[in-house]
Structure 1
Amino acid sequence: MTDQHSETLALWPAPSAAGTIDATVTVPGSKSVTNRALVLAALAADSSWLRRPLRSRDTLLMADALRSLGIGIEETLSSSSAVSGLPSGRGESWRVIPAAPQAPAAVDVGNAGTVMRFLPPLAALAEGPVRFDGDPRSHVRPLHSLIDALRALGARIDDEGRGGLPMTVHGAGSLDGGYVEVDASSSSQFISALLLSAPRFNQGVELRHTGRTLPSLPHIRMTVDMLRAAGVQVDSPDSGGEPDVWRVTPGALLGRDLVVEPDLSNAQPFLAAALITGGRVTIPDWPVRTTQPGDALRDLLTAMGGSCTLDERGLTLTGTGRVLGIDADLSEVGELTPGIAAVAALAEGESVLRGVSHLRLHETDRLAALTKEINSLGGDVTETEDGLRIRPRPLHGGVFHTYEDHRLATAAAVIGLAVEGIEVEDIATTGKTMPDFPDMWRAMLAGDAA
């Protein structure tokens, strides 16, 4: 094992809270917004600016992938932000200079679902081969529905029958587009991937979801809203269209000057800390209106015993000294499941988390991982067909394995607030969406404004 690998997998002692927490925590920009904005800007007719983008492993993978396809991305850092202590990306701007996608090219997706799914449709617009590969876990994440859909729309893809990575998209310079059916029951990203590039398809796209329940609908709404903001005509179920059908008219995309919202899902561990300790945490710049799934935290954490106030300061969650169990359908906000499970493991009563069977196909099998790791600390978690049943038990210290999954790492930190002796394996995996997490966590516990 190399020294670098040893450092990556070092155990991080999760700090316990000595009392109530009272802090203001500025979270970095949204990964979902940043990576969608990068793709749309790459396809636009003129240059775009992204202000306060998230700078993390997933977004840097997206930016580097677009650069490999010939897209220009210039990064600037304001002089004031360099000394302000702002979280990564808060004082940064990226200028995206669009160009026709170039090939041959090689794309490293890491383990980023947005990169491995959003870029193959764009790569089909290049002239030549674009090779996609990534971390070992990326090879088992589902792509078959997207591959089948792209082939139906006229793309040529060589995946040697795997239905996943590694694969090569052989671009022909354009893509016919038109009608296509997609089973997106394992990931809403299949739909977002096709919608994002659809304005550049010759016929646009008419996309019909044919599978079971569609997870993470807020993310599709985010994609549609961002397309419309770029001047694209989109008919969707939310706008009075046919259920499970999206239509995108071909046409030019407008360049934009976009300020990226804070990543509301990344605010979850900090808000949970206020709930668990009976304290208070404020997240500045929380939007009044948003399509981010993380906005559901206001209702979820209120149901679990907190009190939320949204005003000019941002969102403030105040704990009441009690943590309540919850029965919740998280199908639209599956990414919040690890954090909610961590809070539920510390609650007064039983919790049932439903509608998240698709989490078995995320960065890791999140349901199996949460069950194993919380139970290893003395918990009582059982998997159901589509979620988790959590019966609170007194927990003890121990190693919490994260399986290269950033949300498992932050969930472990939440448990560590109330349970001494929690050691988190590979806290560096939080760099996927929140590179400064350990320092932000310590600052919150110290009551520092960040």
Structure 2
Amino acid sequence: MCGVEAHLPWPAPTAPGPLDASLRLPGSKSMTARALVLAANSLGSSTLRGPLRARDTELMAAGLRAMGCHVSTVDDNLWLLRSRPLQGPARVDVGLAGSVMRFLPPVASLATGVVSFDGHPRSRRRPMAPLIGALRSLGARIDTENGLPFTVHGAGRITGGEVTLDASASSQLVTGLLLSASGFDRGVVVRHVGPPVPRPHLDLTVHMLRAAGAGVDDSRPDVWSVEPGRLNGRAWSIEPDLSSAAPFLAAALVTGGTVTVQGWPPTTSQPAHRLLDLLGRMGGRPAMTPRGLVMRGTGAVHGLSADLTGISEYAAILAALATVADSPSHLFGMGQLRGHEGADELGRLAAALTGLGAGVTLEPDGLRIRPRPLRGGTLRTHGDRHLAHAGALLGLAVEGVRLDDVTCTAKTLPEFPRLWSSMVYGYEGDSAEAEARIRRG
């Protein structure tokens, strides 16, 4: 528990020319995590077809097992959950997964017995106080100083009712309450007060709750209510993780090539439409085909002025693209990244791009980027997969870019090094062989 994982430096491959690649991405982390929790809170059995097997989702499954839920992940493509009365004593390792840290305490409050939570030392700096305070006001007993480590003393039930909190630090603070609220005696009414909360992931939560049979009302701004009532197990089909597609699609723009993402859903509750719109404005040409979503580069990358409120997960990729554009860019609406999860992620992004020669001005809620010749160098990821993806993207166009750690990509996409090298070289070997090919250039 709380161990520190070894880092693996990684030289980003340079594209030999315009790409012509087709790939299939694993399942959505956001959908997999929510489906696991909903299945644990449902009567009977549930299945997850096409789930994401990654560091965060494995921790979620392990946490549910620790509380007594039957979770079978033997088959990579079909996970089975069978609900049982949840109980302690149990220990949950949240690792670096904000979803585990925020989705499972409400589940533990419905268990019988003691459930203790801890994780990576960096997780102890992440905001938890609003969720802990909300759970206490709803009837849960939690021992903590408002952060990890903490202990939930489950009584098998929780009163529920109305609660007000500031969830501006993370929409997961609301999602964690909503996912378990149907099991509360009075359900829940959650009111957010404070700066705006990004909606896309909350909309996904509401969509999946309704699919599971919950009565949900989100018609009022910053208010969500869930009616009490048991959910029934069901079959979940997990969509591909469209947020993980961002660096691959952007690669088509950088190289002036074509990248196809197979299995792209014709409709989705993931916020992918905004990504496609922004990539289109920067020079990409997206098109839905029978093979999947095809992104074509035109040989030019254009500068962009865009508000990224609610889609800050795309900030690193769009900023990296902006450094090789034909005009300046202004990306804003990202003020929450200045203190996101206890770290200045926006400042780290600016420093990483500047370190490779980009002209970047850091602002309170965004970046101004002036394209200029880039150079190779080591990009510090700080354990952030988004920075790793940005470094890999720039490595396509700039020789000598090296990530100080590629293992951080395993948080949501363990196959990233293999998929990336396969896209660049058309090579389908295992990760070790693909890595060797990259090192040989």
* TM-score in terms of structure 1 length: 0.92
CA distance in 2, matches of 1:309, 1:294: 13
CA distance in 2, matches of 1:116, 1:424: 28
Match of 2:384 among 405, 417, 425: 405
Whether contact under 8 Å (2:42, 2:230) holds in the other structure is yes
Q: Does residue 168 of structure 1 match 2:151?
A: yes
Task: State the one-letter code of the partner of 2:88.
Answer: A
Q: Which residue of 2 aligns with 1:15?
A: 13
Q: Does residue 143 of structure 1 match 2:128?
A: yes
Q: Which residue of 2 aligns with 1:222?
A: 204
How far apart are residue 365 of structure 1 and its match?
2.8
Q: Does residue 213 of structure 1 match 2:222?
A: no
Q: Which residue of 2 aligns with 1:257?
A: 235
CA distance in 2, matches of 1:449, 1:325: 34
Whether contact under 8 Å (2:169, 2:341) holds in the other structure is no
How far apart are residue 149 of structure 1 and its match?
0.9
Whether contact under 8 Å (1:130, 1:170) holds in the other structure is yes
Whether contact under 8 Å (1:43, 1:99) holds in the other structure is no
Query: What is the CA RMSD across the aligned residues, in angstroms?
Result: 1.6
Residues 364 and 419 of structure 1: CA distance in aligned 2, closer, same or farther (over 3 Å): farther
Q: Which residue of 2 aligns with 1:345?
A: 323
Q: Does residue 111 of structure 1 match 2:96?
A: yes
State the SS of the aligned residue for 2:168: coil
Match of 1:371 among 336, 341, 350: 350
Moved more, 124-133 or 59-68: 124-133
Q: Does residue 231 of structure 1 match 2:209?
A: no
State the SS of the aligned residue for 2:311: helix
Match of 1:423 among 402, 414, 419: 402
Moved more, 18-27 or 163-172: 163-172
Q: Which residue of 2 aligns with 1:439?
A: 418
- 1:324-364 deviation line (CA, Å, top 9, x unaligned): 11111111111111111111121112212211222231485
CA distance in 1, matches of 2:220, 2:137: 21
Task: State the one-letter code of the partner of 1:114.
Answer: S
State the SS of the aligned residue for 1:418: coil
Whether contact under 8 Å (2:50, 2:78) holds in the other structure is yes
Task: State the one-letter code of the partner of 1:382.
Answer: T
The residue correspondences of 1:153-192 to structure 2 (distance < 5 A) are 153-160=138-145, 163-192=146-175
Match of 2:178 among 171, 175, 195: 195
Match of 2:118 among 133, 141, 146: 133
CA distance in 2, matches of 1:432, 1:221: 23
The residue correspondences of 1:252-291 to structure 2 (distance < 5 A) are 252-291=230-269
Task: State the one-letter code of the partner of 2:245.
Answer: A
Quick one: percent identity of the two aligned structures?
A: 52
CA distance in 2, matches of 1:196, 1:383: 37
Moved more, 261-270 or 126-135: 126-135
Q: Does residue 314 of structure 1 match 2:292?
A: yes
CA distance in 2, matches of 1:258, 1:10: 34
How far apart are residue 57 of structure 1 and its match?
0.2
Q: Does residue 386 of structure 1 match 2:369?
A: no
Whether contact under 8 Å (1:111, 1:363) holds in the other structure is no
Q: Which residue of 2 aligns with 1:102?
A: 87
Q: Which residue of 1 aligns with 2:432?
A: none
CA distance in 1, matches of 2:147, 2:387: 24
Paired residue total? 426
CA distance in 1, matches of 2:302, 2:236: 39
CA distance in 2, matches of 1:45, 1:224: 19
CA distance in 1, matches of 2:35, 2:400: 41
State the SS of the aligned residue for 2:233: coil
How far apart are residue 448 of structure 1 and its match?
5.4
Moved more, 428-437 or 439-448: 439-448
CA distance in 1, matches of 2:269, 2:344: 26
CA distance in 2, matches of 1:182, 1:146: 8
Q: Which residue of 1 aligns with 2:309?
A: 331
- 1:261-311 deviation line (CA, Å, top 9, x unaligned): 000010111101101111000101111111112342211100111101012
CA distance in 2, matches of 1:204, 1:6: 39
Residues 205 and 74 of structure 1: CA distance in aligned 2, closer, same or farther (over 3 Å): same
Q: Which residue of 2 aligns with 1:26?
A: 24
State the SS of the aligned residue for 1:331: coil
State the SS of the aligned residue for 1:94: strand
CA distance in 1, matches of 2:162, 2:8: 49
CA distance in 2, matches of 1:6, 1:438: 21
CA distance in 2, matches of 1:362, 1:382: 22
- 1:384-420 deviation line (CA, Å, top 9, x unaligned): 1112222222110110011111111111100111111
> Where does the alignment leave 5 or more consecutive residues of structure 2 unmatched?
430-441
- 1:200-242 deviation line (CA, Å, top 9, x unaligned): 0000001111111112x11001000100011111011xxxx22
CA distance in 1, matches of 2:427, 2:235: 32
Whether contact under 8 Å (1:379, 1:394) holds in the other structure is yes
Whether contact under 8 Å (1:24, 1:448) holds in the other structure is no
CA distance in 2, matches of 1:273, 1:413: 9
Task: State the one-letter code of the partner of 1:204.
Answer: G
Task: State the one-letter code of the partner of 2:44.
Answer: D
